[in-house]
Amino acid sequence: MRTASTLPKLFIAIALLSGLVKPDPDPLQDYCIADTKASKAFFINGVPCIDPQLAQVSHFTTSALSKPGNTSANPFGFSITLTNTMNLPGFNTMGLTMARADIAANGLVPLHSHPRASEVATLLKGALLVGFIDTSNRLFTQLLRPGDSFVFPKGMIHFLYNLDSLAPAVVLAGLNSQNPGTQLTSTAAFATNPRLPDEVLKKAFQISGQDVARIRRNLGG
């Protein structure tokens, strides 16, 4: 009887906590300019701050997203440029990240997820097919034209594919975490260190040992 009576209270507590949990904690001051010269001898959840009296307007601005990335650096044909505490020290503790995605003609930002953030992507140039898969394996896709936006819920596997075979595409995205994390689905399975056992991959994907070797080779695993 005691266990049964505590269950409703437990569910209420979980619901309340769920409503309070945020991707990143709120800052305790107006700003926390990242100290990019701080010692790396210890690790904290974030980056140490400089003296607020030393803050300058240059700490709050960056041109990092103004330059196109090298889309030929990987076999998928995409490049991601992120704001971080090195190129934008003033965004430390603000709980957000901005990203520029350059996608070559017929290039693909392959299936991936951000475990700590939701993402809103706005297409600036080109034509993109984007989509995500929910935990019921439902696929939500949309064709984007310049000016269109699409939201990828936190933790959901998603992709961006450039439908144009001649012209590149450019996307500007915002994520609600200073460190959203990125995990490519394919490399997470086939390019781990150390390697996942072949039998695990063969059974999980219903493929042969030769398939495992070929995929690993293609992904650099």
Contact 181, 97 (CB under 8 A): no
Q: Report whether 112 belongs to an annotated binding site.
A: yes
Q: Report whether 199 belongs to an annotated binding site.
A: no
Residues 6 or more apart whose CB falls under 8 angstroms from that of 130 comprise 121, 141, 142, 144, 150, 152, 158, 159, 160, 161
Burial degree of 34 (CB within 10 A; 0-12, 13-18, 19+):
buried
**Other CB atoms closer than 10 Å to residue 45's CB: what's the count?**
8
Question: Cα dist. 75→103, 171, 192, 213, 217 in Å?
Answer: 12, 19, 18, 17, 12
Q: What residues form the annotated binding site for oxalate?
A: 114, 119
Q: What residues form the annotated binding site?
A: 112, 114, 119, 158
Q: What residues form the annotated binding site for Mn(2+)?
A: 112, 114, 119, 158
